[in-house]
Amino acid sequence: DSMTGAGILPGDVVIVRRQEKAETGDVIVALVGDEATVKTLRRRGRRIELVPANPAYPVLIPRSEEHTSELQS
């Protein structure tokens, strides 16, 4: 339920398409470690933040070695 504020509710099916780039504000599916997560992308300089749409959840800041090449572009 970390994305309920964006209208993505528990039990919803999320359909995604792979694309070369993602911009700040895009809702993305990110692989962090072994887990996939749906979050809003926010870039702060070279740092990437994965922002939930539910204030009960923390912002995820993946370690630099977890960033995929698509997000670093």
Each residue's pLDDT tens digit, 14-37: 999 999 899 999 999 998 888 899
pLDDT for 66: 54
Residue with tokens 């504020």, as numbered in its chain: 5
What are the DSSP calls for 5-65, one per residue? Answer: GGT--TT--------S---TT-EEEEEETTEEEEEEEEEETTEEEEE-SSTTSPPB---GG
Q: Which residues are designated catalytic?
A: 2, 39
For tokens 């997000």, the residue is 71
**For residue range 26-66, what is the model confidence (pLDDT) as tens digits?**
999 998 888 899 999 999 998 999 999 999 999 999 876 55
Amino acid (one-letter) located at 73: S
Supply the DSSP symbol for 59.
P
pTM of the model: 0.82
